Amino acid sequence: MAQSLLEPVAAGQTRFRLHGLFVDARGVAVGREILVIFETIDRLVGFLGAYSEEMSLDELFLSMTLETGRREGGGRAFLLRCRGGDSYAVERIRRLASVVQSVTYTGAGSIFVLPRDRKTPFGFDLANPAETVGAVGPDDVVAVSETYATRLRVIDRLDPIELVQRLSMRPQPIPGDKIGNDPELCGLREMALVLVSPGLSSRITSWLWRRQVSMAGIRLSLRDGESGSLLLRLRTPPGRILDILEAIPGVELFVPVSARAAVQVGWRHPIHLASANACLPGDEMYLFRGRADRVERIPGSPKFVDGTYLVEHELSTRPPDDEEARLLAPEISTVSLSLRTTTVAREPSGVLIAWSQASMVGGLLYLLPPSVLRNCEFVALKEGILVLSERGSGGSIGASAMIPLGRRMVEAAPGVLVPDGHELWPRVRPQLVRELLGLEAEELAVYPDEDAACAIRIPAAQRMPLDARAVRASAPVLAEVVSEAAVSLDTDPTITNERLGRFALWRYRGEG
C-alpha cells in the first residue's frame, strides 16, 4: 500500500508541516488561500454560475485569480485561487466545486492540501516535510491529495471580467410560449427594455402611444455609421403588448437583471449578473443580446426621455400669432412701466435696424473689427433686425456705436433695452425691472420704440452670432465621383410583384 502523503490533523494541534496552515475558530486547519482545479473551462463557468446564484461574485473577484496551468504529465487545467480565511468559506467553495466535478484544496503559496472531510474533521497536513514534495518554482502549484501530488505550471492568466463578458448566452424557453401566459411576464412585470431597430422606431412608438403604454426612450448608435436604434423603457407593460413586440422582427425585449445589465427575453446568461457588478466595469450599461450573440455597451447611464417627445406629431396648420409669441410685461396693480425721454447719455448696447435697411446688414461685417464682431449677436424681430453688442470698456468703443444704421438702443436695466434718449419710468430698481418683466436668466427684453406699450421678450435661443447669420452658408457641392456604373451600387435591389393578369401564361410554349 502506498504511503499516504497527508495525515489528519489532531484536535488542538497548532503546529503544522505545511507553512501557511493555521487553525480557525472551529479548530479546523485551513490555509490563507483556496485552490480549485477545473479540468475544462465549462466547469469553471458552471462553478462561477452556481456561486453567483448563492453569493456575490464581487466579493470573490476581489481576491480571485484565474490561471491556465499545464500538468506535469501533460494536459491543461484551469486554476482558481482566492482568499481562504476560515473553514466555512472553504466548505462553501468545495460544495459548489464538487457539483461541477472539480477538486478544492486549501493552503498557501504554492502547496495546497485537501480540506477537511467527514473522516478528518480537523483537516489535513502534510505527512512529510514540505521539502519532500520536491522543488517548487515560482510558477508552480502543487496540489497534494492523500495518494498523489499534482504539479501544475502556470502558463497564462485569464481575466475573469473579460471571461464573463465573452460568455455565450443560453436559450431559455418562454413559459407557455407566450410572455402573457407567465404570471411574472418573464420578469417584465415592473419594467421592460425594448430595443427597436432604426426603421421601426417611429411606428413602434406611435403604436405604443396609442395603446397608452407608459414609456421613455433614448437613441443609441450600436455600430459605427449606423443610424440610431431606439431603446425604450416600458413601465408595467401589459403582457399582450409584450407578446406582440416579441413577435416583431427588429424588436428585442430585455429583462433588467441589475441596475446596469439587461438580458434578452428567451435567453439567459450563464452568470447571475445581479450578483456580479464587478464584471461590468465602468458606468456603462450592458445589453446582452442572445439572438444576435452580441453584448452592447451603452456609454454612461442612459438618460431616458419621456415618451411624449418620442412620438411624431403633425404640425398645426394654424398660422402663428405674432402677438402670442411676445410675453407682455406683467402689469403692476397701480402703475405700469413706460418710457419717457431723458437727457442722460449712455453707451449703446444694440441697434435696431428697420427691415428696409436689412440688405445693408451684410456690409457691417466689413466694417466691424474681428474682436468686436465676435461679440455681436443678431435677432430678427417683426420691428426690425436687432444687433446686440457688448458695451465698450476701458476706453474702447462698442460695436453699436460704430454701426451707422438704425436706431441705437441702450440698457435701462440689465438685459432690458430701450431706445436711446429714453428711460423706464418710474425708476424702479434695475433688478426689479427684470422681475417685473418676468425675464429668465439669459433672456432679454426690448422696447422697440417710445410708443411701445410692452416689451418684447427675446429667449436666448433666438439670438445667434451676427457673423454666422450674415454670411451666407456655402454648401459645398457634392463631389462628382466618376463612376462607370449608371446606377448606384450601394443599395440592394428590390422586387415588386406587379398585378398579374389572368392570361399571363397565354401562348406559353415549351421547347420545340
Partner 1 sequence: MGAPLDAFVNDFVLPLLGGGTVRLKKPLSAQDLESFRGDIGPLTREDVRAARVGCGHRRVERPLLAEPDVLEMVFWMGLHNLLFFDHPQLGQVWASDAKWRLVEDTTASFLDRAQPDSPSQVVARDLAMEAVVRLLRVDQIVETRDADLRYFGQAAPRGIGLFESVAFLQREETVNWLTFRHSSPTERLLPRAFRASPLTALIHADRATGRPSLGPVSSLLADPSYARAVVYAWAGSEHWDLIGAAVLERVLDDLSLGIGSERGPPSVEPGNAERSPPPVEPATEELLALDSDDSKPAPLVAALVHLHILKVLEMKTRAGLGAPSSSPAWKLFFGLPLLLDLLGPLLGDPAIQALGAAMEGRWTEYRSFVRGIVSRDELRWMRDTFAPALTQGNRS
The residues that touch partner 1, with contacts defined as CB under 8 A, are 40-42, 45-46, 68, 76, 156, 163, 166-171, 199, 203, 207, 210, 249, 270, 292-293, 483-505, 508-512
Of 476 and 512, the one with the shorter C-beta distance to partner 1 is 512
In the complex, the smallest distance separating the C-beta of residue 246 from partner 1, rounded to whole angstroms, is 15
C-beta closer to partner 1: residue 187 or 270: 270
The CA angle 93-158-70, to the nearest 5 degrees, is 85
Q: Which amino acid appears at position 330 of this protein?
A: P
State the Cα angle at 81 between 78 and 85, rounded to 5°.
155
Q: State whether residue 33 is helix, strand or coil.
A: strand
Q: Are strands 416-419 and 422-425 parallel, antiparallel or unpaired?
A: unpaired
For residue 358, give the DSSP letter.
G
Provide the minimum distance between the beta carbon of 496 and partner 1 in the complex, in angstroms, as a whole number: 5
CB of 499 to partner 1, least distance (A): 7
Scanning the structure block, which residue is given the C-alpha cell 476706453? 395
Least separation in angstroms between residue 491's CB and partner 1 is 4
**CB 228 → partner 1: shortest distance, Å?**
18
Give alpha helix (H) positions in 121-228.
Answer: 160-166, 201-210
Q: Which is nearer to partner 1, 86 or 226 (CB)?
A: 226
Nearer to partner 1, 156 or 184 (CB): 156
Count Cβ atoms below 10 Å from residue 17 Cβ, excluding itself.
Answer: 16
Cβ proximity of 234 and 194 under 8 Å: yes
Nearest-approach distance from CB 203 to partner 1, in angstroms: 6
Query: At CA 41, angle to CA 37 and CA 43, rounded to 5?
Result: 65
The smaller minimum CB distance to partner 1, of residues 269 and 408, is found at 269
Closest approach, Cβ 202 to partner 1, in A, equals 11
What is the C-alpha separation between 55 and 226, in angstroms, rounded?
40
Which CB atom, from 250 or from 299, has the smaller least distance to partner 1?
A: 250
Q: Is 324 or 498 the residue whose CB approaches partner 1 more closely?
A: 498
Helix axes 87-99, 41-54, angle to 10 degrees: 130
> Partners of 235 in the beta sheet?
191
Q: Are 196 and 245 in contact (CB under 8 A)?
A: no
Beta bridge partners of 142: 111, 151
